[in-house]
Amino acid sequence: MKFAHKLNNFGAEIFAALNEKKLELEKTGRVIYNMSVGTPDFEPPAHIVQALREAAADPQCWKYALRDLPEMLEAVCGYYKRRFGVDLLPEQIMSCYGTQEGVGHLAMALCDPGDLVLLPDPCYPVFQAGVFLAEATPWYYPLTKETGFLPCVNEIPEDVAHRAKFMIVSLPANPVGSVARPGIYEELIAWAKKYDVLIVHDNAYSDIIFDGEKGGSFLAVPGALETGVEFFSLSKSFNVTGARISFLIGRRDVVDAVRLLRSQIDFGMFLPIQKAAIAALTGPVDSVKEQCRLYQERRDALCLGAAELGWDIPLGKGSMFVWAPLPAGKTSSMDFCMELLEKAGVLCTPGSSFGPRGEGYVRFALVLPPEKIREALLAIDESGLLRA
Ligand SMILES: Cc1ncc(COP(=O)(O)O)c(C=O)c1O
């Protein structure tokens, strides 16, 4: 059978090779320090689990949900007001099964084949996958060391800006760990208004931001609610990655368009999950703050520990990832990841899997406690890899 040609855009070869090697080593009893996938090792707060458990015990909660519960939309409004100082209306919000799903379907609702979408390079892979699924055309803007891994709208050519339908921005950024500098959202909004481009902000890491900086929302900036939308995921703040809870929030016409698309293929978020979301959004957030401190400890263990071995890894500013330049003498991120796995038992992700400008880097997910990270660094040191 001949399958849809858009599938030719997708492949898992990079990860397949690393995963095969990992399984092979595990079979021999080798300890693997797995820092490749961004799944938090922390637990969801008890009150969220309890809300889900109670709702799951009610047979009424097993029916098609068909809609977002008004209480859940109110809970999002309340959270955005308290946490970010943003006033929202329930109509400006819709749920999605994680940002991954939401951003994966977004271009289908907004684009016709061939429409231009601006994406960061390197980027979180689903940004690109969604564009391919809609048969739209990606145009990559660079996130480089020289510009602090931040988007620079004044470097986007005029003709590209005129043709672009939407631009995805995500800060704190996966994989590069950069965070919004003051004024950047204002610049994006002014540029977006000038060229009539929708800004799509993926706010996955507003609660994982270091060195006393405060995470925020793009929607808190004047003009954002008319110019853009934001994906707001509960996955990382509340360690509920498997529950698939995120919201698309902002420009009403855009939220309506995505809601219309989704209403064709979906009957609504499982009600116990909606109840869990309400508990997360209305409950205590002390554990979220404490967790941020723990992520920072892990970042320090990795970056400062690597420096002692002569591997210079800048301190990431936010997200649960560290973006590490390859050590001196190494040129291929894939080869280096394979070597690191074989010789030290440390698994991270090749930068090249996030886009061409990711080459020259590897990404570590901060999913191990500091003592394990120090053990991993010891294994790297003993492997002699950094001295080769
Ligand atoms: C930038 C970014 N957006 C979204 C997600 C996924 O969020 P969700 O679990 O809501 O699909 C991730 C997960 O790693 C991410 O790094």
> Could you tell me if the CB of 296 is within 6 A of ligand 1?
no
Count of CB atoms situated within 10 Å of the CB of 58: 11
Indicate if 142 and 291 belong to the same structural domain: no
Q: Which atom of ligand 1 is nearest to the CA of 234?
A: 10
Q: Is the CB of 203 under 6 A from ligand 1?
A: no
Ligand 1 contacts CB of residue 218 (under 6 A): no
Q: What residue has token string 């263990």?
A: 301
Angle at 365 between CA 350 and CA 362, to 5 degrees: 25
Same domain, yes or no: 38 and 58: no
Q: Whose CA is nearest to atom 1 of ligand 1?
A: 174
- In the three-class reduction of DSSP (H, G, I as helix; E, B as strand; rest coil), residue 165 is classed as strand
- Predicted confidence (pLDDT) per residue in 89-114, tens digit: 999 999 999 999 999 999 999 999 99
In a domain, 75, yes or no: yes
pLDDT tens digits for range 122-157:
999 999 999 999 999 999 999 999 999 999 999 999
Query: What order do you get walking across the sheet with 321-325 strand by strand?
Result: 321-325, 361-365, 349-350
**Joined tokens for residue 90:** 């329930």
**Among 128, 110, 111, 108, residue whose Cα is nearest residue 119:** 128
For residues 192 and 337, state if they share a domain: no
329 and 248 in one domain?
no
Q: Is residue 138 part of a domain?
A: yes
Residue 210 lies in a domain: yes
Q: Are residues 59 and 189 in the same domain?
A: yes
In a domain, 104, yes or no: yes
Provide the CATH number for the domain around residue 172.
Answer: 3.40.640.10
Please work out whether the CB of residue 241 comes within 6 Å of at least one atom of ligand 1. yes
Residue 147 lies in a domain: yes
Over the chain, what is the mean pLDDT? 96
The verdict on 318 and 186 lying in the same domain is no
- Is 91 part of a structural domain of the chain? yes
What residue's CA is closest to ligand 1, atom 13? Answer: 38
Domain boundary pick from 259, 282, 305: 282
Domain count of the chain? 2
pTM of the model: 0.96
pLDDT digits (tens, 9 = 90+) for 231-288: 999 999 999 999 999 999 999 999 999 999 999 999 999 999 999 999 999 999 999 9
> 74 with 89, same domain?
yes
Q: Is the CB of 349 under 6 A from ligand 1?
A: no
For residues 54 and 210, give the distance between their C-alpha atoms in angstroms, rounded to a whole number.
35
With a 6 Å cutoff on the Cβ, whether 202 touches ligand 1 is yes
Listed residues 241, 265, 282: the one ending a domain? 282
Domain extent for 354: 5-43+286-383
What is the arithmetic mean of pLDDT over 302-310?
Answer: 97
Q: Are residues 217 and 257 in the same domain?
A: yes
CATH number at residue 314: 3.90.1150.10
Q: Which of 248, 282, 316 is the last residue of a domain?
A: 282
Please indicate, yes or no, whether residues 200 and 263 belong to a single structural domain of this protein. Answer: yes
| Distance (Å, whole) CA 114 – CA 373 | 45
pLDDT at position 11 is: 79
Are residues 249 and 364 both part of a single domain?
no
Position 62 in a domain: yes
Q: Is the CB of 235 under 6 A from ligand 1?
A: yes
Cα-based angle 106, 112, 118 (whole degrees, multiple of 5): 60
Angstrom distance (rounded) from CA 280 to CA 75:
9
Query: Which of 119, 202, 231, 248 to mutate to test ligand 1, by most ligand atoms within 8 A of the CB atom?
Result: 202
388 belongs to a structural domain: no
Q: How confident is the model at residue 135, as a pLDDT?
A: 96
- Is the Cβ atom of 239 under 6 angstroms away from ligand 1? no
Q: Running DSSP on this structure, what letter comes out for residue 147? A: G
CB burial of 66-94 (b: ≥16 within 10 Å; e: otherwise) equals: ebbbeebbbbbbebbeebbebebeeebbb
**Residue nearest atom 7 in ligand 1 by C-alpha distance:** 99
Residues 298, 211, single domain; the answer is no
Q: Say if residue 83 is in the same domain as residue 30.
A: no
H helices within the chain, ranges in order?
Answer: 13-27, 46-56, 70-79, 98-110, 125-133, 158-163, 184-195, 224-227, 252-263, 271-282, 286-308, 333-344, 370-383
Q: pLDDT tens digits for 186-242? A: 999 999 999 999 999 999 999 999 999 999 999 999 999 999 999 999 999 999 999
